Structure 1
Amino acid sequence: MKFPNDADGEALRSLYNEGISFKKPQSVEFFVAVPNKTTGEKVSQVLKGEGFNCLLEQDDETDEWLCSFSKKMLLNHSEIVKMQKKVDELCKPHGGYSDGWGVFVD
């Protein structure tokens, strides 16, 4: 299977090499970096308004704030990129930005 030569393509290649199925939907977790709790609460409300169940938490080690939500979807490069762009469009006006994604692997 071929993957684009970018960070998302590398992540997908790694998942493929681990044997993760690309034929059935996976739970993909998207991350949104925010500068503080107040901004995170605003961003969470925006994401909830779009139908996402968002979790806001602060990293114990770095004190950085992060919103996350998951979406069941096929592991498809263009769809993942599209979702990250949508997240940026929704969150940048409120002080947040898309900060990657991951997949829960058993």
Structure 2
Amino acid sequence: MKFPDDADGDVLKRLDESGFDFSKPTTIDFNVDFDSWPPHPDAIAKLREFAGSIQIYEPDGEYNGYILFNIHQVLSYELVKETQEKFTTLMADYGGVCESWGVLH
């Protein structure tokens, strides 16, 4: 498979090289990071509205806090980019950005 030459494409390439099955739906975790913690309550409410179930991870010493949500679909570059753009736009007024994701493999 060929993937775009960027960070998301690199992750997909590594998954492909390790034998990941791109034909089956999988659970994809997305993180939303914020400029400041804690996030505004309206940001949390919006994430719940658009993502459903969310998990809030409080800052832990060396790590900043973030909010995690997941979707269960067939993994593709387009899905990753569209989801990141959608949630970054949704969280822009609250200093939030969705740039990281992953799958358990």
| TM-score strictly above 0.5 | yes
Aligned-partner residue type, residue 25 of structure 1: P
Alpha-carbon offset, residue 54 of structure 1: 1.0
Spell out structure 1 runs of 4+ moving beyond 3 A. none
Matches within 5 A, 1:1-106: 1-34=1-34, 35-37=36-38, 39=39, 41-105=41-105
Q: What CA deviation, in whole Å up to 9, does each residue of 1:68-93 have, x standing for no partner?
A: 10101111101110000001111111
How much is the aligned-residue C-alpha RMSD, in angstroms?
1.4
Confirm or deny: 8 A CA contact 1:33 1:97 kept in the other structure. Answer: yes
Number of residue equivalences: 104
Secondary structure of the residue aligned to 1:19 is coil
Q: What CA deviation, in whole Å up to 9, does each residue of 1:37-64 have, x standing for no partner?
A: 2x16432211111142111112423251
| Unpaired segments ≥5 residues, structure 1 | none
Secondary structure of the residue aligned to 1:64 is coil
Distance in 2 (CA, whole Å) between partners of 1:63 and 1:13 is 27
Secondary structure of the residue aligned to 1:82 is helix
Confirm or deny: 8 A CA contact 2:51 2:69 kept in the other structure. Answer: no
- TM-score of the superposition, structure 1-length normalised? 0.89
| Unpaired segments ≥5 residues, structure 2 | none
